């Protein structure tokens, strides 16, 4: 039965029903020593994207079960190097599903994944980079709009980084992390909020690395402040920009003490802080003042 199902999935040119993935998971629950290695092999050897998606979905179905046996856990741990290699797969949906599997593992079964984290960090951080090849432009009447097909995957990648920071901070690559922060500030609002939490959790752990990149962070914050709204922008769009600026300002406020300790008095970041600290910049000053007062309590 297993051979028939996996052969059918491998031959399919279109995504198969999630029911198939659930059936494969049942085999795994019953005989983990036999079928987890085979499932990992199917993930690694599949040349078809729909097949690989189905097999990773089956693997994720196994992970979310709260009553896995110790034998099942042991086999999952052995299979992880093979399964998580798909973080670097050519297909964006495969990468997203693999990242979701990693997120589940960090959140619920950290002991299974902690040994492999150092080796997969480079691939994980790479998924926080905007892939311009999957950004397309569509026309909406007289306007053009960019659609980023990699955004959902990037959100999950940043969520994985945030979990690593909270659960495995000693093994996190500080340089790669701060690179991730720099590019995440001007990204999507959800990504920016995740980056905000990452900065709050890591500023005191990697102070020297942050100080070295403060001007780059200042440039990223400047990009947020300079977001252009159309003349006909509705209230929701205006509020969205205001929230983006608030998050960016809170990041600057969190890092300002590091600049002060390093006696950083010139450059992009120092100029930006001086700008935010000036009462003449009404709303910006109020945002910054609220953040600094909050952090001092």
Position 296 scores a pLDDT of 57
Residue 159 has pLDDT above 90, yes or no: yes
Residue span of the structural domain in which 52 resides: 1-117
Whose structure tokens read 């003042």?
Answer: 289
Determine, yes or no, domain membership for 110: yes
Confidence of residue 229 (pLDDT cuts 50, 70, 90): confident
Determine, yes or no, domain membership for 35: yes
Cβ neighbour number for residue 36 with a 10 Å cutoff: 25
Are the C-beta atoms of 151 and 161 separated by less than 8 Å? no
**Cα 42 from Cα 25, distance rounded (Å):** 13
- Averaged pLDDT for residues 4-14: 91
- Averaged pLDDT for residues 176-204: 97
Q: What is the CA radius of gyration of the chain?
A: 22
Residue 140 has pLDDT above 80, yes or no: no
Helix, strand, coil percentages for the chain (3-state, nearest 5): 75, 5, 20
| Torsion region of 263: left, alpha or beta (phi above 0 gives left; psi -120 to 50 gives alpha) | left
CA-CA distances (angstroms) from residue 200 to 17, 209, 251, 254, 285? 41, 14, 8, 7, 20
Residue 144 has pLDDT above 80, yes or no: no
- Averaged pLDDT for residues 126-148: 87
Q: Beta partners for 226?
A: none
Whose structure tokens read 């007289």?
Answer: 142
Q: Beta partners for 139?
A: 144
Task: Give the tens place of pLDDT for each residue, 77-126.
Answer: 999 999 999 999 999 999 999 999 999 999 999 999 999 999 999 999 99
Determine, yes or no, domain membership for 228: no
**Cα 124 from Cα 105, distance rounded (Å):** 14
Residue 55 has pLDDT above 80, yes or no: yes
Task: Give the tens place of pLDDT for each residue, 243-294.
Answer: 999 999 999 999 999 999 998 877 899 999 998 888 887 788 888 888 887 7
- As for how many domains the chain has, the answer is 1
Are the C-beta atoms of 198 and 163 separated by less than 8 Å? no
Determine, yes or no, domain membership for 158: no
- Continuous segment of H or E residues that includes residue 138: strand 135-140
Determine, yes or no, domain membership for 144: no
Whose structure tokens read 């962070």?
Answer: 217
Range name among 41-45, 182-186, 215-219, 286-290 with the lowest pLDDT average:
286-290
Determine, yes or no, domain membership for 278: no
DSSP letter, residue 135: E
Residue 132 makes CB contacts below 8 A (sequence gap 6+) with none
Determine, yes or no, domain membership for 24: yes
Confidence of residue 138 (pLDDT cuts 50, 70, 90): confident
Are the C-beta atoms of 211 and 262 separated by less than 8 Å? yes
Give the chain's mean pLDDT: 92
Quickly count helices (H) and strands (E) in the chain: 16, 2
Confidence of residue 143 (pLDDT cuts 50, 70, 90): confident
Task: Give the tens place of pLDDT for each residue, 96-107.
Answer: 999 999 999 999
Residue 295 has pLDDT above 70, yes or no: no
Position 297 scores a pLDDT of 54
Q: Beta partners for 138?
A: 145
Whose structure tokens read 């046996």?
Answer: 69
Q: Report which of residues 177 and 240 the model is more confident about.
A: 177
Q: What percent of the chain has pLDDT over 90?
A: 74
Determine, yes or no, domain membership for 293: no
């Amino acid at each position: 039965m297993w051979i028939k199902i996996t052969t059918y999935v491998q031959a399919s040119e279109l995504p198969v029903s999630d029911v198939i993935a659930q059936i494969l998971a049942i085999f795994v629950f019953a005989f983990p020593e036999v079928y987890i290695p085979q499932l990992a092999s199917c993930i690694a050897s599949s040349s078809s994207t729909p097949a690989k998606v189905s097999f990773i979905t089956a693997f994720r179905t196994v992970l979310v079960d709260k009553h896995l046996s110790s034998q099942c856990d042991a086999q999952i741990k052995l299979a992880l190097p093979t399964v998580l290699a798909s973080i670097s797969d050519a297909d964006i949906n495969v990468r997203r599903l693999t990242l979701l599997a990693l997120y589940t593992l960090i959140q619920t079964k950290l002991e299974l994944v902690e040994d492999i984290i150092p080796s997969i960090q480079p691939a994980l951080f790479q998924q926080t980079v905007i892939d311009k090849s999957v950004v397309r432009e569509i026309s909406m009447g007289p306007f053009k709009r960019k659609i980023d097909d990699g955004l959902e995957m990037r959100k999950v990648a940043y969520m994985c980084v945030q979990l690593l920071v909270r659960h495995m901070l000693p093994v996190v690559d500080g340089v790669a992390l701060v690179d991730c922060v720099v590019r995440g500030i001007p990204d999507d609002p959800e990504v920016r909020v995740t980056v905000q939490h990452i900065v709050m959790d890591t500023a005191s752990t990697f102070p020297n690395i942050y100080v070295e990149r403060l001007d780059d962070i200042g440039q990223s914050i400047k990009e947020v402040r300079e977001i252009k709204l159309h003349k006909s922008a509705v209230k929701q769009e205006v509020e969205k920009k205001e929230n983006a600026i608030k998050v960016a300002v809170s990041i600057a406020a969190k890092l300002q003490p590091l600049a002060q300790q390093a006696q950083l008095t010139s450059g992009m970041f120092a100029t930006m802080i001086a700008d935010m600290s000036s009462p003449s910049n009404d709303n910006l000053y109020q945002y910054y003042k609220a953040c600094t007062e909050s952090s001092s309590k």
